[in-house]
Structure formats: C-alpha cells, structure tokens
C-alpha cells in the first residue's frame, strides 16, 4: 500500500465517463456486529443513559430524513417514517430493553438486538398485512439505533450536504435512485460491472463512475482528495498537482469533442447511403428526459419503470404512475416512449414490494414472472400506462419473456385493463403497440413464434449476454467473460432480427451494447431498426453511424458472423470505426 499522503493509483472498470476531482465520502454498509459484554452493577445506569441518548439521536435523524423525503417527493412518501418514529417512541419496546439490561447485566446492544429480533419475528408472522409490514420497520429502526450506539450514524446518499466522490464496497439501485446529482460528483465501488444497474444509473445521471476496484473502500479514507477518470477506469487518490494539471488538459480535450458532437443534435442517425436508424434514449426516471432531449434522442426506447418503485418507500399508485408516464410522453411527443413494465428482482429490490430472498435472483422470480403472479400490482401498472397513452405516443414492453405463454397472459391482462378503463369512460389508446424484450436465449430462439403476437422486439443485451454466456452481469470476478461480441450473441441477434423481419415487425437494441459506439456499425449491419442508449452516448453513436455506409456495415456484420472469437469481432469493429472516425476511437480510449 502507498504511504499516507502520496499519490495512489487504482484501476477498475470505467462505466460512466467524465473526469472529476473531489473529497471522498465513504459509504459503508449499515451492518453492525453485535458483541455481548457483561456489565458491573455500577455500569448499568450509564448503559441506560446510552440507550436514551441513542434514541434521541435516532429520533432526530428520522425527522430529518422525513423532512427531506417530503421536500423531494411528497407528504405521502414521507409518512413511512411515521411508522419508524412510532418504533422509537414505543415505550413497551424500550422498557423491555431497559429491563433486560438491568436484570441480565449485559450491554444494551446485545439486549436491543435480541428484543428487536423477537418483536420483528412476531410481527412477521401476523395475519394482518399491515402488522406484517411493521416487522421491517422494527428491523430498520433497531439497526439505526445500534449504529448510533456504536457511534457510526447510518449514512445514505440522500443525506449528503456537500459535493462528494462516493466510495463504497457496492451500491444498490435503491441507493442510487435517491442520490442527488448536484452532490454526487462520482461513484467508485469495489464491486460492480458495466451492466449493473448502478452503472446504468451513473450513466443516466452523467456522473463519472468506476467499478470493480476490489479494495478501494479500504484504501481510501473519508475526506481524501480523489480524482476519478470514468472513461479510463482510473482513480487517483491524493493526486499531485502535476497529475491534476494533466487531467485538466485531458478533460478540456474531451470537452471539445463533446461540444463538436453536440452540433449533431438535430440531425438524423443516417448512414452516408441513407439507411436511417432510430436513435432513442434509455431512462430510469422522468427527470432523465432532460438529458435525452439535450442529446437529441428521438424518443424514449426504454423507460425502466421499476425505478419509480425504487425511488420511494411506498408503492406508487395508479395515478402517481400515470402522472409520471404522462409527463414523459408529453415531453417527448410526438416521438414515442416505450414503457417497460415492472422489472423487479435480479439486482433491483424495492422496499415497498415484498420479494423472497433467492439463491439465484437473476434466474428467479423476476420481471414478468413476478408481475403475472401479482396480477393486482400488474393491473395497476397496466392501467396507469394506458391512462398515459391517450396522446397515442406510448408503447408498452414486457421484460424477460421466455415463452409465448407469458406474452399471451400479459396481453390478456392488458385487454382486461382496457375493458375496465373503457367501461369507466377513461381515454386511452386502444391500438397501443405492445412489444417484448428479447433478453432470454429461449425468446431469441423462438422469436418467430413471439413475433406473431407483438408489434416490436427490443433486444436487452445486458441480460441476453448474461443468460447466454452464463456470466452474472454484476459479478466483477467474471466480467472478463462478459463479451457482447461473442459469436453466440451475434447469432442470436441475427436470428431475432430475421424473425422480426419475416413477421413485418421492427427490432431495437436497448441493452448497453447499443451504447458502445464502436459496435454501432455491427448492429446496423445486422439490420437493427432502433438503438436505445444512455442519453450521453447518443452523440457518439450518431457520429459513428453518420460516418459509415450501410453496405460497409453489412459487410462488417457478414464478416463478423464468420469469426470464431469475440475479440476478433471487436477488433474488426474497432478497425472500421477507427478508419471512419479516429477522433471517436481516441475519445473512447
């Protein structure tokens, strides 16, 4: 390890570009180790005082969070913390902890942990759903009190008051869903991979991010000055003034390229010989529409609707959802917005939705599987999407389809939702286009059957690659095997596109592969109609497409399909892109 005070360079995987420098903020997991300790009789009163002090601190923190959530969201969302405050003020619970300390002469942490667990377990077994949900409140509050007893207040990204570089072992999508773009300068994590939802969120926020740094959170201290190069995947701790100057120059050069690309904003993504691709944006929350429009997106090709659920502690109801969808549809009109129905599970878990702990969540009760098993929850979302479709520019897309039956079932529920709304006299688009994500290999293999039931396909390469190559997309250990250009992936892409063409429907790509500018000629050559990418990479992808002819893209795809290795395919793509737009290849590093 480098000496204190000297420059230290760490290398990981750059997942969101940009260069920033700022003080580190260490976000540690909120787990506390409970050690039982005996007390002398004289120590008991002091222990009770410690408990009362921790309760006062906890109450203050909860009120502050509640105020923040109310300001950021609304009163209703903030009301979840009323239940947490009730736990802190529950005298029966507190008295039981005090009695335990007095009678057993052991430290308050050990007693509190035990009493809270008993309370939570009892509540979790109640018939009444409301009481069952209170179990999570008891656990959460107990953890917060324990952190305060240990003198490590629980930190969360929403509570930052100054701009900071966030350093963490790992971040969950719910951590990032509530972060503030103004105060989070960059994200750096020990774990993670380019297609984890944390990385996707960082790109949406245009916040530089480096993941897979292994032990960064142990080598960086709170307050250390950190320089992050999100493109090169480099983190420099305590950079010297020479390093800072060098990076200032790099940042300025990249800025110039970006400024020039910005002039393409209103131009189509059309090859030199006239083949036009629809270049649209992926968004997680309605506020991301700003970036999509700023970078010239032709509509929203993927609205990951589950982030509405992740960003708040309570379930968004039909009207809240409809409002969010309508806002996006109105702002991008007349261009379309494709709303993907709830894709919870995998690495996305919302506190408002109960899901079981699974050994293999990516292969488990995720996305459409979960929605079909929870028809009420799904119905609410379908009705909300239909409400937002009145202006005729909303499309609906089901995630993680693996067979025709799932499409039939989802469509049947959609039809029922339409009938209900029609009976209520609510206006909606009766011809709303329905599409599916092709992200499970079985779906790609039966694409011709699926194509007769829907109006479009959008290939989710993030999952398609993970399921085809058996590579967990969030496991940094196997990132080296995660290869978008693997011959197996190219074959599945080609097969899907051909099946769609035969059925007369269109195909898009909305996985991160589409945002890799050097791969754009390959996807165009394979016959893709639409590419939906993170807003910030739209200008790069557009520049590459505009510098090619369709026939050279086709030739590239034909050659790529004959190669045996993903590395060879990638090299061929890079070579062509470098020939046509060297500046972009240099920019990408």
Catalytic residues: 197, 510
Among the listed ranges 35-43, 321-329, 439-447, 544-552, the one in contact with Mg ion (CB under 5 A) is 439-447
Is residue 338 involved in binding ligand PEP (CB under 6 A)?
A: no
Is residue 440 involved in binding ligand PEP (CB under 6 A)?
A: no
Query: Which one, of 434, 573, 562, 574, lies nearest residue 491 by Cα?
Result: 562
> 140 by DSSP, 3-state: which?
helix
Query: Which one, of 541, 542, 516, 523, lies nearest residue 15 by Cα?
Result: 516
Q: What is the nearest approach in angstroms of ligand PEP to the Cβ of residue 482? A: 12
Q: Which of 113, 134, 234, 304 binds ligand PEP (CB under 6 A)?
A: 304
Is residue 26 involved in binding ligand PEP (CB under 6 A)?
A: no
Locate 292 and state its tokens. Answer: 């999509």
Which helix (H) or strand (E) segment holds residue 407: the answer is helix 404-423
Kindly report the number of other CB atoms within 10 A of residue 574's CB atom: 14
Compute the distance between CA of residue 429 and CA of residue 409 in angstroms, rounded to an integer: 20
By the 8 A CB rule, do 196 and 471 touch?
no
DSSP letter for each residue of 27-81: -----------B--TTHHHHHHHHHHHHHHHHHHHHHHHHHHHHHHS-HHHHTHH
Chain centre to alpha carbon of residue 277: 26
Is residue 439 involved in binding Mg ion (CB under 5 A)?
A: yes
Is residue 366 involved in binding ligand PEP (CB under 6 A)?
A: no
Query: Which one, of 280, 268, 279, 403, lies nearest residue 339 by Cα?
Result: 280
Chain centre to alpha carbon of residue 258: 25
Among the listed ranges 113-121, 422-430, 435-443, 527-535, the one in contact with Mg ion (CB under 5 A) is 435-443
Compute the distance between CA of residue 250 and CA of residue 227 in angstroms, rounded to an integer: 13
Among the listed ranges 417-425, 426-434, 459-467, 487-495, the one in contact with ligand PEP (CB under 6 A) is 459-467
Compute the distance between CA of residue 217 and CA of residue 192 in angstroms, rounded to an integer: 13
Q: What is the DSSP letter of 168?
A: E
# chain residues binding ligand PEP, by CB under 6 A:
10
Q: Which of 229, 439, 530, 543 binds ligand PEP (CB under 6 A)?
A: 439
Closer to ligand PEP by Cβ: residue 173 or 539: 173
Among the listed ranges 72-80, 114-122, 454-462, 560-568, the one in contact with ligand PEP (CB under 6 A) is 454-462
By the 8 A CB rule, do 198 and 13 touch?
no
Of ligand PEP, Mg ion, none, which one sits near residue 511, judging by CB under 5 to 8 A according to partner kind?
A: ligand PEP
Closer to ligand PEP by Cβ: residue 197 or 542: 197
Is residue 192 involved in binding Mg ion (CB under 5 A)?
A: no
CA distances to 34, 340, 555 from 437, rounded to whole Å, are 45, 9, 27
Distant-in-sequence, close-in-space partners of 203: CB < 8 Å, separation ≥ 6: 15, 16, 209, 515, 534, 536, 537
Is residue 510 involved in binding ligand PEP (CB under 6 A)?
A: yes
Q: What is the nearest approach in angstroms of ligand PEP to the Cβ of residue 349? A: 14
Q: What is the nearest approach in angstroms of Mg ion to the Cβ of residue 472? A: 13
Is residue 194 involved in binding ligand PEP (CB under 6 A)?
A: no
Of ligand PEP, Mg ion, none, which one sits near residue 284, judging by CB under 5 to 8 A according to partner kind?
A: none
Q: What is the nearest approach in angstroms of ligand PEP to the Cβ of residue 439? A: 5
Of ligand PEP, Mg ion, none, which one sits near residue 484, judging by CB under 5 to 8 A according to partner kind?
A: none
Is residue 387 involved in binding ligand PEP (CB under 6 A)?
A: no
Is residue 343 involved in binding ligand PEP (CB under 6 A)?
A: yes
Is residue 140 involved in binding Mg ion (CB under 5 A)?
A: no
Binding mask 249-268 for ligand PEP (x = CB under 6 A): --------------------
Q: What is the nearest approach in angstroms of Mg ion to the Cβ of residue 437? A: 6
Locate 250 and state its tokens. Answer: 């790099």
**Site residues for ligand PEP, window 551-580 (CB under 6 A)?**
none
Of Mg ion, ligand PEP, none, which one sits near residue 336, judging by CB under 5 to 8 A according to partner kind?
A: none
Of ligand PEP, Mg ion, none, which one sits near residue 461, judging by CB under 5 to 8 A according to partner kind?
A: ligand PEP
Locate 248 and state its tokens. Answer: 């200032």
> 506 by DSSP, 3-state: which?
strand
- Tokens 């953890």, residue located: 143
# chain residues binding Mg ion, by CB under 5 A:
3
Of Mg ion, ligand PEP, none, which one sits near residue 510, judging by CB under 5 to 8 A according to partner kind?
A: ligand PEP
Q: Which of 140, 288, 463, 552 binds ligand PEP (CB under 6 A)?
A: 463
**How do strand 164-168 and strand 184-189 relate by DSSP bridges?**
parallel
Closer to ligand PEP by Cβ: residue 326 or 463: 463
Phi, psi of 194 (to 5 degrees): -60, -25
**How do strand 456-459 and strand 433-438 relate by DSSP bridges?**
parallel
Of ligand PEP, Mg ion, none, which one sits near residue 321, judging by CB under 5 to 8 A according to partner kind?
A: none
Is residue 511 involved in binding ligand PEP (CB under 6 A)?
A: yes
Phi, psi of 175 (to 5 degrees): -60, -45
334: preceding bond cis by omega (within 30 degrees): yes
Compute the distance between CA of residue 60 and CA of residue 144 in angstroms, rounded to an integer: 12
Is residue 84 involved in binding ligand PEP (CB under 6 A)?
A: no
> 166 by DSSP, 3-state: which?
strand
Is residue 347 involved in binding ligand PEP (CB under 6 A)?
A: no
Compute the distance between CA of residue 558 and CA of residue 552 in angstroms, rounded to an integer: 10
Closer to ligand PEP by Cβ: residue 341 or 547: 341
**Site residues for Mg ion, window 450-489 (CB under 5 A)?**
460, 463
Closer to Mg ion by Cβ: residue 336 or 346: 346
Locate 98 and state its tokens. Answer: 């005090």
> 217 by DSSP, 3-state: which?
helix
Is residue 461 involved in binding ligand PEP (CB under 6 A)?
A: yes
Closer to ligand PEP by Cβ: residue 239 or 484: 484
Q: Which residues bind ligand PEP (CB under 6 A)?
A: 302, 304, 343, 439, 460-463, 510-511
Q: Which residues bind Mg ion (CB under 5 A)?
A: 439, 460, 463
């Amino acid at each position: 390890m480098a000496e204190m005070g000297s420059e230290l360079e760490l290398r990981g995987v750059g997942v969101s570009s940009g260069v920033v420098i700022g003080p580190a903020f260490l976000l540690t997991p909120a787990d506390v180790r409970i050690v039982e300790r005996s007390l002398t009789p004289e120590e008991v009163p002091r222990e009770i005082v410690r408990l009362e002090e921790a309760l006062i601190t906890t109450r203050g923190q909860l009120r502050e969070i509640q105020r923040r959530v109310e300001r950021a969201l609304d009163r209703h969302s903030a009301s979840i913390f009323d239940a947490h405050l009730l736990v802190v003020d529950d005298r029966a619970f507190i008295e039981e902890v005090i009695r335990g300390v007095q009678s057993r002469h052991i430290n308050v942490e050990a007693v509190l942990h035990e009493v809270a667990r008993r309370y939570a377990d009892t509540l979790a077994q109640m018939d009444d759903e409301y009481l069952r949900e209170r179990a999570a409140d008891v656990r959460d509050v107990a953890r917060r009190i324990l952190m305060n007893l240990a003198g490590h207040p629980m930190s969360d990204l929403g509570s930052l008051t100054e701009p900071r570089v966030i350093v963490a072992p790992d971040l969950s999508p719910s951590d990032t869903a509530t972060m503030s773009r103004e105060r989070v300068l960059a994200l750096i994590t020990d774990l993670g991979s380019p297609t984890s939802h944390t990385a996707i969120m960082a790109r949406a926020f245009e916040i530089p991010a480096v993941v897979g740094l292994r032990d960064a959170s142990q080598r960086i201290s709170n307050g250390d000055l950190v320089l992050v190069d999100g493109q090169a995947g480099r983190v420099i701790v305590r950079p010297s003034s020479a390093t800072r100057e060098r990076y200032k120059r790099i940042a300025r050069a990249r800025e110039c390229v970006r400024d020039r690309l910005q002039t393409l904003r209103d131009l189509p993504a059309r090859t030199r010989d006239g083949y036009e691709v629809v270049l649209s944006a992926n968004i997680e929350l309605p506020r991301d529409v700003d970036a999509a429009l700023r970078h010239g997106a032709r509509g929203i090709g993927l609205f990951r609707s589950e982030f509405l659920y992740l960003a708040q502690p309570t379930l968004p109801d039909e009207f809240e959802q409809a409002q969010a969808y309508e806002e996006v549809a109105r702002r991008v009109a007349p261009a379309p917005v494709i709303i993907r129905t709830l894709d919870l599970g995998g690495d996305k878990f919302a506190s408002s939705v109960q899901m079981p702990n699974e050994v293999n969540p990516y292969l488990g009760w995720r996305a459409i599987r979960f929605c079909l098993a929870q028809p009420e929850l799904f119905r609410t979302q379908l009705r909300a999407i239909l409400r937002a479709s009145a202006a005729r520019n909303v499309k609906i897309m089901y995630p993680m389809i693996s067979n025709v039956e799932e499409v039939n079932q989802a469509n049947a529920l959609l039809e029922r939702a339409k009938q209900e709304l029609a009976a209520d006299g609510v206006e909606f688009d009766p011809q709303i286009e329905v599409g599916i994500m092709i992200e499970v290999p079985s779906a790609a293999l039966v694409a011709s059957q699926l194509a007769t039931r829907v109006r479009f396909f959008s290939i989710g390469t993030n999952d398609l690659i993970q399921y085809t190559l058996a590579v967990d997309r969030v496991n940094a250990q196997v990132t080296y095997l995660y290869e978008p250009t693997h011959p197996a992936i190219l074959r599945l892409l080609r097969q899907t596109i051909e099946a769609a063409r035969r059925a007369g429907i269109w195909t898009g790509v909305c996985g991160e592969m589409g945002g890799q500018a050097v791969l754009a000629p390959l996807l165009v050559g394979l016959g893709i109609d639409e590419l939906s990418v993170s807003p910030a990479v739209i200008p790069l992808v557009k520049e590459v497409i505009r510098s090619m002819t369709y026939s050279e893209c086709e030739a590239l795809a034909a050659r790529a399909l004959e190669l045996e290795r993903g590395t060879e395919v990638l090299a061929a793509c890079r070579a062509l892109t470098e020939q046509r737009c060297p500046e972009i290849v240099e920019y990408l590093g």
